[in-house]
Structure 1
Amino acid sequence: MRRSLAGLLLVYSAVSLPVTGFVVQEISSCGIGEKQGNVTYKSIITFNHLTILEFNHSANNFVTYLPLKVVENFTTEFNNTIINYVKSEEKRCKDQIKTFWNNTAQRSVKPSMEVFSPEQFYGDDLPLLICHVWGFYPQDIVLSWIKNEKTLVKNVTEAIRVGDWTYQVVAKLDLRDSNPEDTYTCVVKHKSLDMPMMKSW
């Protein structure tokens, strides 16, 4: 069973301080960079929401933030135990990154798309053509409009998070200068696609 630093400090402070309603909390985080090996592990202990200890990787020990005797004694008496605990947690963090990296940060999901012209309810509504692209990952995507085989515009609108680890984007095209024989095509380029995805109107 893993030993908790906050629990260890709580027991130590309980015999050193009078009984109060204060809270000791251990907070650890595993930061991930853009590359798989770029992992930063942080471990801090707070007392009443104030940081009192933080692990310093370069010095290989905990740094005290509050000049409390109980905190200084804790780092002196339990430093080796703390370091072993932090190192094991850091290793666990990096091992988990290796396991989940390809299914999270490196994954890609192909988009779905639809091209349509919304109904006009008022006479002054602009005639529009809409290209809705959704369900893709990662975020970077390029949308282009082609009119009669000639590129009109590339969409630079930033994709929006949907909430399920995918994104969506909407590209609108003004049709006021169009003729009945004109053909419009929305072209999607994305990392997950071997070739551009297209849909015409």
Structure 2
Amino acid sequence: MLLLLGLLLGARGAGAFMMHVASSCPLAANGSLQSFDLTVAFNKNPLVCYDPDAQRFNACDWKLLHNLAEQVAIELNNGSTWVKRAEARRRACSKLAAQFWAQTALRRTQPQVRIIPAQTGNPSVPICLTCHVWGFYPPEVTVIWMHNGDVVGPGDHSPMSAIPNGNWTYQTQVTLSVAPKAGDIYTCSVQHASLEEPLLEDWSPGLTLEVTLMVAVATVVMLLGLSLLLVGVYYWRAQPPAPGYTPLPGHNSPSAVPACPHPRP
């Protein structure tokens, strides 16, 4: 029937055309099926629409092709084939909606977290800590900063709202400007529906990059020197004894020592 419709439109000088059938199943916020839509479209414009309550097709083009749309609707309603197809799609929507909702909206994906420090150039608060949280779903997440186990007040950090990653997960970040001292521990605590307990990530002040490089170079030099020392000792012990005086057999034996002659009177 759609082939005949295409030939009819082509015969009327419609030129290039595209016919397609599209159906959709809008879902409510709780995952329930709100409605069912099935449309026969011409060049992406709705031509005939299916009414699931009345179980019949109606013309939904009120412009140039309205008369043709009414004729198509009559043809679709006269036979039971297209009505059966529409009802089969509606039953499939009702059956698959719960599975789709469970695999998408109801799923739980645990977040990942990482703390990245950066220099601020401000002597009073020289370090800016950024807690990056990503890869979580649903988007509702709570991120809290703690200093040595104590929660940092809301005025000391600025949380950002979660933004989508484009793969059904979300990300967010929370920054905190600090003046760390030796022994301080800053903790980023992440609370999410996918976690049984908060996810904790710690950061403590360490050596600067320059000092770290100096320590690394000194360590390498020390290990190299120790290796050379061990190799030298090994080769020194492996050498044969130097040539020297070799005593005759029995020379060191007490019995081989000649007795002193008795003095003559």
CA distance in 2, matches of 1:55, 1:128: 59
* Distance change >3 Å, CA 155–CA 10, structure 1 → 2: farther
SS in structure 2 of the partner of residue 58 of structure 1: coil
Query: CA deviation digits over 1:149-190, x for unaligned, max 9?
Result: 1332376422122232222211111125x5445432211110
One-letter amino acid of the counterpart of residue 35, structure 1: N
Partner in structure 2 of residue 190 of structure 1: 192
SS of 2:138's partner is coil
Change (3 A) 1:70 1:129: same
- Deviates further, 45-54 or 19-28: 19-28
For residues 11-66 of structure 1, give each alpha carbon's deviation from its aligned partner in whole angstroms, at most 9, with x where no partner exists: 34535861642222222223232323335322112223322222223333223123
Q: Provide the C-alpha distance between the structure 2 equivalents of 1:40 and 1:155, rounded to a whole number of angstroms.
A: 42
Greater CA deviation, 136-145 or 81-90? 81-90
Q: Which residue of 2 aligns with 1:3?
A: none
Inter-partner Cα distance in structure 2 for 1:49 and 1:116: 49
- Does residue 53 in structure 1 map to residue 48 in structure 2? yes
For structure 2, the residue ranges without an aligned partner over 5 or more in a row are 204-265
CA contact (8 A) 1:39 1:94 kept: no
Q: Which residue of 1 is the match for residue 135 of structure 2? A: 135
Q: TM-score, normalised by structure 2?
A: 0.62
User: What is aligned with 1:11?
Assistant: 4
Give the aligned partner of residue 104 of structure 2: 104
- Alignment of structure 1 residues 35-184 onto 2, 5 Å: 35-64=30-59, 65-66=61-62, 68-79=66-77, 80-118=80-118, 120=119, 123=121, 127-148=127-148, 149-153=150-154, 156-176=159-179, 178-184=180-186
* Residue 124 of structure 1, CA deviation: 5.8
The alignment-based identity, stated in percent, is 27
| Alignment RMSD | 2.7
Opposite residue 151 of structure 1, the aligned amino acid is: V
Unaligned residue ranges in structure 1 (runs of 5+): 1-7
> Which segment drifts farther, 85-94 or 51-60?
51-60
Aligned to 2:202: 200
* Count of residues in correspondence between the two structures: 191
Q: Which gives a bigger RCO, structure 1 or 2 (Cα 8 Å, sep 6+)?
A: 1
Query: Counterpart in 1 of 2:261?
Result: none
CA distance in 2, matches of 1:74, 1:13: 11
Q: Which amino acid aligns with 2:38?
A: S
Normalized per residue, which structure has more strand? 1
Which 10-residue stretch deviates more, 139-148 or 157-166? 157-166
What do the CA deviations read for 1:83-123 (whole angstroms, capped 9, x no partner)? 221110111222222333322221101111112313x3x84
- The secondary structure found in structure 2 opposite 1:70 is helix
- Residue 88 of structure 2 aligns to a residue whose secondary structure is helix
Return the offset for 1:133. Answer: 1.1
Q: 1:102 to 1:16 in 2, by over 3 A?
A: closer
Structure 2 Cα separation of the partners of residues 54 and 156 of structure 1: 47
- Residue 144 of structure 1 deviates from its aligned partner by 1.0
Decide which structure has the larger Cα Rg and report it.
2
What's the TM-score, normalizing by structure 1?
0.79
